[in-house]
Amino acid sequence: MVGLQWGDEGKGKVVDHYAASADFVVRCQGGANAGHTVWVDGRKMVGHLLPSGAFHPDPICVIGAGVVLDLESLCEEIDALNAVGLEVEKRLRVSRLAHLVLPYHKILDRGRDRLPSMGLPIGTTGRGIGPAYSDKMRRVGLRVGDLDRGESVVRSLLQARLEEMAPVMERQGMEYPDLEATLDLLLSLGNRLQPCFVDTGHLIREAIRTGRRVLFEGAQGTLLDIDHGTYPFVTSSTSSALGLGPGSGVPSRSIEHILGVVKAYATRVGEGPFPTEEKGAHGESLREKGKEFGATTGRPRRCGWLDLPALGYSVALNGIDALALTKIDVLGGQEGLKICVGYEDMSGNEIPFTPESHVLEEVIPIYEEMVGWPEQEVGSSELPEGALRYIERIESFVGVPVVFVGTGPDRNHSVLRHGGL
């Protein structure tokens, strides 16, 4: 299950729906930059690192090798779920190969956009994602499995990193993390979670071999993918479905279905091209009605119309079999409803979607006006005629069926089509 836009498509709610019948729910990439929301009986639950299977009592929750793990954030999430009676620690499995997000990664990340040497501002979530993946790729990172190699090994690994970063951070006027405090934090959190640290690749491969149901939960979205997204305005992981194999340790041919999650309109948080963005009243009304404020940072999300050329790209790149369309209820009663069906350049020549940001910044969207429909009761199990036409337009453009339609934020607010998945 993967997001097809710029994140926040409603993946949490869709995963929660399918997790009811899953044995395992697996996160493969990203970190605490994700914010996946599910409303359960009027209570808001937000997962950052925990897979959205955590909101059901039974699925085994797995954090795979491709995730960058902030132990503090993970423990906070576990405690928050415990407080509402959902025990997850006993059914949590964390890859020993996953890299750790350390306090200095977060400090570097939060200072990033102030530094002229870093190029264009990106508006990251400040969760240390880019710096942690940089250390991983430079092959100097600390991994979960290092935590039980003894205090002296962890101290020397950490010391090497802090000594490297100290001059950089001092030069840039950033606060400097203390070695002993960082070490204590890592060892105590590591100690607490020690029983969860396992070979998750083997675990998932065995689960698949023995016919268990395994659901992989994407974080961020396809257009934020480090290689195939709108670089440099992307996250630092493979957030398309292409990252699923390396991030979890299973051969990609084991995957039976790839479900893409798409919001009925478009949103983006942070910087970067957004051809169908509505900066005026329409955007404001989508933000208000859709409650488009970040689940991780609380930032207002940029809003606009659904972009079918971009969606077609994501469907093709991921090999999507079926779509889950969320937030159709938000478009009920929306004035001036339209949908982007192509792009043209300044001279009126049609051009295809490209993730190259400098080109995408310049395209002019070609719109089709859509017949709207009156606002429905939130969570309605009937789709109005206009909404059905809207859904059919999406299906005919991208050639993939919409099997799940979200009609409200609650876990039960959905309608299945074509027999579901």
Binding site for ligand GDP (CB under 6 A): 3, 7-13, 35-37, 39, 291, 295, 326-327, 329-330, 406-409, 413
- Residue closer to ligand GDP by CB (options 149, 291) is 291
DSSP structure class, residue 300? B
CB of 219 to ligand GDP, least distance (A): 7
Task: Name the one range near ligand IMO by CB under 6 A: 28-36, 246-254, 312-320, 360-368.
Answer: 28-36
Quick note: the x/- pattern for Mg ion over 247-286, rule CB under 5 A, is: ----------------------------------------
Q: Does 249 bind ligand IMO (CB under 6 A)?
A: no
CB of 159 to ligand GDP, least distance (A): 36
Q: Which of 76, 97, 123, 285 binds ligand IMO (CB under 6 A)?
A: 123
Residue 287 near residue 301, CB atoms below 8 Å: yes
Distance CA 140, CA 161 (A): 8
Residue 162 near residue 182, CB atoms below 8 Å: yes
Distance CA 61, CA 47 (A): 12
Whether 8 is catalytic? yes
Q: Does 295 bind Mg ion (CB under 5 A)?
A: yes
Residues 6+ apart with CB under 8 A from 3: 9, 11, 218, 219, 220, 221, 222, 239, 260, 261, 262
Distance CA 51, CA 31 (A): 11
Residue with the two structure tokens 């620690």: 89
Q: Which of 122, 303, 306, 317 binds ligand IMO (CB under 6 A)?
A: 122
Q: Which of 1, 2, 3, 29 binds ligand IMO (CB under 6 A)?
A: 3
CB of 234 to ligand IMO, least distance (A): 6
CB of 407 to ligand GDP, least distance (A): 6
Q: Which of 3, 10, 30, 35 binds Mg ion (CB under 5 A)?
A: 35
- Residue closer to ligand IMO by CB (options 219, 339) is 219
E strands, 287-359, where?
302-304, 306-307, 322-326, 338-344, 350-351
Residue 267 near residue 240, CB atoms below 8 Å: no
Q: Does 34 bind ligand IMO (CB under 6 A)?
A: yes
Residue 191 near residue 144, CB atoms below 8 Å: no
Distance CA 71, CA 222 (A): 26
Q: Give the three-state DSSP class for 54.
A: helix
- Residue closer to ligand IMO by CB (options 176, 293) is 293
Q: Which of 13, 17, 27, 127 binds ligand IMO (CB under 6 A)?
A: 127
Distance CA 391, CA 239 (A): 25
Distance CA 371, CA 317 (A): 30
CB of 328 to ligand GDP, least distance (A): 7
Binders in 330-389 for ligand IMO, by CB under 6 A = none
Whether 36 is catalytic? yes
Q: Does 365 bind Mg ion (CB under 5 A)?
A: no
Structural tokens at position 49: 């690192």
Distance CA 384, CA 389 (A): 9
Of 17, 36, 99, 105, catalytic: 36
Distance CA 322, CA 319 (A): 9
E strands, 288-363, where?
302-304, 306-307, 322-326, 338-344, 350-351
Q: Does 230 bind ligand IMO (CB under 6 A)?
A: no
CB of 341 to ligand GDP, least distance (A): 23
Choose the one of ligand IMO, ligand GDP, Mg ion, none that binds residue 128, judging by a C-beta under 5 to 8 angstroms depending on kind: none
Task: Name the one range near ligand IMO by CB under 6 A: 59-67, 217-225, 275-283, 356-364.
Answer: 217-225
Contacts to ligand IMO by CB under 6 A: 3, 6-8, 33-36, 122-125, 127, 129-130, 219-221, 224, 235-236, 269-270, 295
Contacts to Mg ion by CB under 5 A: 8, 35, 295
Active site residues: 8, 36
